[in-house]
Amino acid sequence: MSVPQGDGAALMQLSGISKGFFGLSVLRDVTLDIPKGRITGLIGPNGAGKSTLFNILSGFLAPDTGAVRFRGAGIVRASVAARSRAGLVRTFQTPQVFSHLTVRENLIAGCHKLGRSGFLANLLGLPSSRAERRRLAVQADKTLARFDLAALADWRAGDLPVGQQRLVELARAAIAEPDLLCLDEPSSGLNAEETEQLRRMLVRLNQDGMTIFLVSHDMDLMSVSSAVNVLCFGEIIARGDFAAVQADPRVREAYLGA
């Protein structure tokens, strides 16, 4: 299954990113571009700084130095909520679902940015609010089918195994068609069949035009990326297409242990 190449224009740019904790340098002058319409990957051994860079990109951490730009605008001081409203959505290493809600209700919760009714209309149950709820329910059902989750629509999300919870989280993140979908170790805890299902889904989302930033230790999953960046001890040591990075001796030494 081929991976679309997008238009190559940078949707997000990180430049000169450095970060330290308690005197320990975790990231040093990291520069990374995420082109629009592509899947961009980030790999590296444990302790490389991947999670720190991911948290800076998504707004959970601020860098000590450097710039973060999204669609050309500086967002280094923007909150997580502001980044989400701008179209940047992330998932987590441990699936974050609303465990007491059904799968359908989880997806409807992901539709909040699509809503147009105001607080008062929702509070009073006005016709506009009821019509919107029906519209969002239809959108949720379409997404359930898209992610092969229709049979689980009325299950409580917390009762599902980890693999299906990850799929629910991915569907909830994708339902509002974010400009940039950022995935943090999405195959963690999945078996081989579930990982392959995830791989196919990422390719399908990208073919539909979604830009994806993928952080993973899973080389099989990383093969969906148009470009791969390799982080080691806080620095980018290699970048390029998947085959070139896989063959790079620096990567084999740092990441594969060769």
103: helix, strand or coil: helix
pLDDT at 131 over 70: no
Sort strands 65-70 and 88-90 into parallel, antiparallel or unpaired.
unpaired
User: Are residues 190 and 73 located together in one domain of the fold?
Assistant: yes
Q: Would you say residue 168 lies in a domain?
A: no
User: Are residues 83 and 108 located together in one domain of the fold?
Assistant: no
User: Are residues 20 and 126 located together in one domain of the fold?
Assistant: no
User: Are residues 188 and 237 located together in one domain of the fold?
Assistant: yes
54: helix, strand or coil: helix
User: Are residues 136 and 19 located together in one domain of the fold?
Assistant: no
The count of domains in the chain is: 2
- In sequence order, what are the residues at sequence separation of 6 or more whose Cβ sits closer than 8 angstroms to the Cβ of residue 85? 113
Q: What is the mean pLDDT of residues 43-70?
A: 92
> What pLDDT, on a 0 to 100 scale, did the predictor assign at position 6?
46
Q: Quote the mean pLDDT of the chain.
A: 84
Q: Would you say residue 35 lies in a domain?
A: yes
Most confident of 33-37, 77-81, 93-97, 199-203: 33-37
Summarize pLDDT for 195-244 with one digit per residue, the tens.
888 888 899 999 989 999 999 888 888 989 999 999 988 999 999 998 88
Using pLDDT thresholds of 50, 70 and 90, give the confidence band for residue 255. low
pTM recorded for the entire structure: 0.84
Half-sphere exposure of 112 (CA within 13 A, CB side): 10
User: Are residues 91 and 186 located together in one domain of the fold?
Assistant: yes
Share of the chain above pLDDT 70, in %: 87
Share of the chain above pLDDT 90, in %: 40
User: Are residues 118 and 185 located together in one domain of the fold?
Assistant: no
**CATH code of 244's domain:** 3.40.50.300
Q: Would you say residue 124 lies in a domain?
A: yes
How many whole angstroms separate alpha carbon 216 and alpha carbon 223?
11
Q: Would you say residue 4 lies in a domain?
A: no
Which has more pLDDT, 5 or 48? Answer: 48
User: Are residues 27 and 75 located together in one domain of the fold?
Assistant: yes
pLDDT at 146 over 90: no
User: Are residues 85 and 210 located together in one domain of the fold?
Assistant: yes
User: Are residues 198 and 240 located together in one domain of the fold?
Assistant: yes
> What pLDDT, on a 0 to 100 scale, did the predictor assign at position 112?
60
* Amino acid identity at 139: Q
Q: What is the DSSP string of 117-133?
A: --HHHHHHT-HHHHHHH
Cα 105 from chain centroid (whole Å): 21
> What pLDDT, on a 0 to 100 scale, did the predictor assign at position 62?
94
> What pLDDT, on a 0 to 100 scale, did the predictor assign at position 189?
79
Using pLDDT thresholds of 50, 70 and 90, give the confidence band for residue 63. very high
